[in-house]
Structure 1
Amino acid sequence: MKTLNHYLVYASLITLATHSQAVSAPIQITKTTNIMNTETLTNPVVKKAIDALQAGDKKAWFALFTENAELFDDDHKMEFKSFFEKALGHERFTGIDKVENNGLSVYGRFHSDQWGNFKTYFKFQLNAEGKITRLDIGQASY
């Protein structure tokens, strides 16, 4: 689905192409990023994880988890590493609605390129060293 910004860029390019005047500088089109405010996240590890998810930053994301981190998607155990290798860069929060459990549980609106838009939860568990040992995700109804 094209955004309004994409249509405005296309319209500008068409307008430039139809004029007989030469353009002195090349036109640069950059991909827009999906920026969301994560300031409501009170746990610093969870904030780093959500920021990495939003940016699709695999290196930053995986660095926050233990080697044997567990993932449960709607209570079904999933293979953590392969799940997020596919998901990062294609899934993200579009808004955070509430944060609970000392900042470890995040509820909000979510977008998946594969599944569309829905409400979700991410519930993090940390070890004593501050690494994420378990992540429960799923569709939320609140």
Structure 2
Amino acid sequence: MKTRNLMSITAIGLLSCFACGQNTSKTQEKQQFKTQNIMDLSKITDPSVQMAIEALQTGNKTWYGFFTEDPVMTDDGNPVDFKSFFANALGSELFISIDRVENDGKDIYGNFKAGKWGTFPVFFKFHKNKDGQFDRLDIGQNR
């Protein structure tokens, strides 16, 4: 009986050692990937645009709060429904680089990962109303 208890305690102790010694490199890799995925947005000089792009980059629904209730939106010059567009894009599409910023920080140019459409150079042009909210967003391929 004592031998059986001793063997059980030894087995539990060994299993605990194995569990504690597990390789955490996969967890570390995921954390490192997240860190590497964070882009420097300091090029964006308009604070509202910078915060909106940060929300876009992280798929955060605070993105919508930077805009009026029903903002005008165009994609390559064609009118699109802002809410429908970002219902699909938010959380799966993002800038992978910001190459140029113009118009006092309201026009952003860079490479964009657009889900199933691939990665290509784009522009995002934010338009503010008198209250400081965006009432228009023009996006498109930067040719």
Select the structure of larger CA radius of gyration: 2
Cα distance between partner residues in 2 of 1:140 and 1:110: 10
What residue is the counterpart of 1:35 in the other structure? Answer: 38
Matching of residue 47 in structure 1 with residue 50 in structure 2: yes
Matching of residue 22 in structure 1 with residue 18 in structure 2: yes
Q: Which runs of 4+ in 1 moved over 4 A?
A: 25-28
Q: Cα RMSD (Å) of the superposition?
A: 1.7
Q: Which runs of 5+ in 2 are unaligned?
A: 1-16
TM-score normalised according to structure 2 size: 0.78
What residue is the counterpart of 1:88 in the other structure? Answer: 90
What residue is the counterpart of 1:129 in the other structure? Answer: 131
Shift, 1:23, TM fit: 3.0
Which is richer in strand? 1
What residue is the counterpart of 1:105 in the other structure? Answer: 107
Aligned residues: 120
What is the aligned-residue identity percentage? 43
Secondary structure of the corresponding residue to residue 114 of structure 1: helix
Q: Which runs of 5+ in 1 are unaligned?
A: 1-20
TM-score normalised according to structure 1 size: 0.79
Cα distance between partner residues in 1 of 2:82 and 2:112: 19
What residue is the counterpart of 1:119 in the other structure? Answer: 121
